[in-house]
C-alpha cells in the first residue's frame, strides 16, 4: 500500500478518511462470499444475474478492505470506478494485480448488461467468480 497514492486519492476527493470499522468490514466480506456462492448456483440459468452478483462480491470485498483501513469512497457519480482506483493504490499484492486491473472491465460489462441489455454467458460468470474468489481471499488474509 502506498501512503502517497492514498493521500493523492484523498486530495483528489476520490476517497475520504473515516474511523476504521473492522467489524462491519468482516460482515461485508462475508456478504461477498455469499454472493459468490449464490452466483455459482444460478450461473447456468441466469448468467446476467450471476455476473452481477460476482461483480458485486468484488466491490464489497474492496469496500471491506477500505472500511477496515479507515477509508470510504466519496459520494457522487462514479462510486464503483473510484472503488477500483482505491484498490489499485491500496492493495499491494502481485497475485491480485491482474484481478484488480480487470475490475474496471467487469464494471463496464456489468453496466452494459444493466443499461444496454448486453447478454453475458457462463464464461463471463466463471471469470468474474474466479476474480472474486481471489480478491475475497486476499482481503480476508489481510484483515
Q: How confident is the model at residue 71 (pLDDT cuts 50, 70, 90)?
A: very high
| CA–CA separation, 29 and 44 (whole Å) | 25
| Statement: residue 2 has pLDDT above 80 | no
| CA–CA separation, 52 and 132 (whole Å) | 11
Domain locations in the chain as residue ranges:
3-142
Q: What is the pLDDT of residue 15?
A: 93
- 105-133 pLDDT, tens digit per residue, is 898 888 888 888 878 888 889 999 999 99
Q: What is the pLDDT of residue 91?
A: 85
Q: What is the pLDDT of residue 1?
A: 58
Q: Is this structure's pTM higher than 0.75?
A: yes
- 10-67 pLDDT, tens digit per residue, is 999 899 999 999 999 999 999 999 999 999 999 999 999 999 999 999 999 999 999 9
- Taking residue 105's Cβ as centre, other Cβ atoms within 10 Å add up to 12
Which residues lie below 8 Å from residue 119, measured CB to CB, with a gap of 6+?
47, 48, 113
Q: Does domain 3-142 have CATH number 1.20.120.330?
A: yes
Cβ(26)–Cβ(141) under 8 Å?
A: no
Phi then psi dihedrals of residue 127, to 5 deg: -60, -50
Amino acid at each position: 500500500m502506498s501512503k502517497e497514492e492514498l493521500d493523492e486519492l484523498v486530495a483528489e476527493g476520490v476517497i475520504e478518511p473515516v474511523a476504521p470499522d473492522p467489524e462491519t468490514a468482516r460482515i461485508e466480506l462475508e456478504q461477498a462470499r455469499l454472493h459468490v456462492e449464490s452466483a455459482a448456483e444460478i450461473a447456468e440459468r441466469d448468467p446476467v444475474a450471476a455476473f452481477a452478483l460476482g461483480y458485486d462480491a468484488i466491490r464489497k470485498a474492496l469496500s471491506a478492505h477500505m472500511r477496515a483501513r479507515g477509508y470510504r469512497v466519496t459520494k457522487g457519480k462514479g462510486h464503483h470506478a473510484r472503488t477500483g482506483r482505491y484498490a489499485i493504490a491500496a492493495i499491494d499484492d502481485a497475485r491480485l494485480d491482474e484481478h484488480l486491473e480487470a475490475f474496471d472491465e467487469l464494471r463496464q460489462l456489468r453496466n452494459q448488461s444493466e443499461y444496454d441489455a448486453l447478454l453475458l454467458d457462463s464464461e463471463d460468470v466463471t471469470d468474474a467468480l474466479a476474480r472474486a474468489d481471489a480478491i475475497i481471499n486476499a482481503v480476508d488474509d489481510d484483515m
